Amino acid sequence: MTDLVIAGLRKSFATVDVLSGVDLTVPSGSLAAVLGPSGCGKTTLLRIVAGFERPDDGSVRLAGRTVSSRSVHLPPEKRRIGIVPQEGALFPHLSVGRNVAYGLRRGSGRGRVREVLDLVGLVDLADRMPHELSGGQQQRVAVARALAPRPELILLDEPFSALDAGLRAEVRADVRTALRADGVTAVLVTHDQEEALSTADLVAVMRGGRIVQAAAPRALYLLPADLGVASFVGDTVLLPGTLTGRCAVTALGSLAVREPMPSGGDVRVVLRPEQIVLSANGDGVPARVRVQVFFGHDSLVHLELGDGAVVTARSLDASWAQPGAQVRLAVRGEVSCFSPD
């Protein structure tokens, strides 16, 4: 078993607390995404796991052995951890095949090189030089190089951030497939919510040096632990409301509330833009279209309610809802509620 277990990890630089008691368990063979804004501590967490920094307190255990604690510091080269940096960092004077074979024992890695290049779809490019590859291909080679020595853990430090949007989605899907095929445990550090939700088995949201919620992507999106997580992970519609039984009374009507619920009274209600359904007439809350933003695959429609509140709906086909149009709004599914404070 190659579980990664991080417990009570703390780290300060001068008088600034960067990690304030991080707890996270990554099951063997799964990919976890550590998601958070710049400055939340995610890069420091990665560096401690890799062995580049020592923690002030807490521990990191990998495959049942302690690799970092106040009294233990296993050097990076002895941790059996592969690292994929942001820019790939390939050796420019070595071919693709020789880059991948760099960390293998001499004379024993030809079969493994071919195997991991096949995993990332580049087996026919082994003799190419790095400058002859696209950015996406270079990142695939970096992943293959990290996989080649059969590490117990792979750390991916925002490896897709330098790629354009279309290529980014393709490369991360290919990398996810390769990691799964090789059965390796992996941690992806990212600030990109879409990347975390679409790639990882487990998403850990980091804020202020702590993991505030760790869950499967769908559970994280539908059941955020607090308003901060809800607002950071995907688009939200936030409304004041009053909790009555299992319903919250809001400007969008009486909405069913999912568990867990606050004790009652005034609440902050969170729902997702795709839960708001537009219709030209019929039942529902009246609203006026203020503006529509077209993205190709869908549109975001900004709507003004009767009390002046503005909400946003996501629609696959809202070409008819032009600015100034009067529409009706309904909400499908359950919503989340949090105490105002």
pLDDT per position in the chain (341 positions), as tens?
Answer: 569 999 999 999 988 899 999 999 999 999 999 999 988 999 999 999 999 999 999 999 999 999 999 999 999 999 999 999 877 788 899 999 999 988 787 656 778 898 899 988 888 999 999 999 988 889 889 988 989 889 999 999 988 887 887 788 888 888 888 889 888 999 999 999 999 999 999 999 999 999 999 999 999 999 999 999 999 998 999 999 999 888 999 999 999 998 877 777 899 999 999 999 999 887 899 999 999 998 888 889 999 998 888 999 999 887 888 899 999 999 999 999 998 87
Q: How many CB atoms lie within 10 A of CB 281?
A: 8
CATH architecture of 4-80+151-227: 3-Layer(aba) Sandwich (3.40)
CA–CA distance, 122 with 119 (Å, rounded to integer):
8
pLDDT for the residue 108: 61
Per DSSP, 258 falls in state P
Strand partners, 26: 4
pLDDT for the residue 166: 76
pLDDT for the residue 1: 57
Kindly list the domain boundaries of the chain, sorted by start residue: 4-80+151-227, 235-338
- Cis upstream peptide for 260 (omega within 30°): yes
pLDDT for the residue 2: 67
Superfamily of domain 235-338: Nucleic acid-binding proteins (2.40.50.140)
Record the tokens describing residue 264, joined without a space.
Answer: 């009652």
pLDDT for the residue 253: 93
The per-residue DSSP string of 82-114 comes to: EEE-TT----TTS-HHHHHHTTSPTTS-HHHHH
Record the tokens describing residue 227, joined without a space.
Answer: 């308003």
State the helix-helix crossing angle for 135-147 and 165-182, rounded to 10 degrees.
20
pTM for the model: 0.89
pLDDT for the residue 18: 94
Q: Is 308 exposed, middle or buried (0-12, 13-18, 19+ CB in 10 A)?
A: exposed
CA–CA distance, 336 with 341 (Å, rounded to integer):
15
Evaluate whether 206 touches 61 at the Cβ level (below 8 Å): no
Strands (E), 102-260: 153-157, 185-190, 202-207, 210-215, 237-244, 247-250, 253-256
Which of 168, 234, 153 lies closest to 199, judged by CA? 168
Using CA atoms, how far residue 21 sits from 24, 61, 188, 216, 228, in Å, is 10, 15, 20, 21, 19
pLDDT for the residue 162: 77
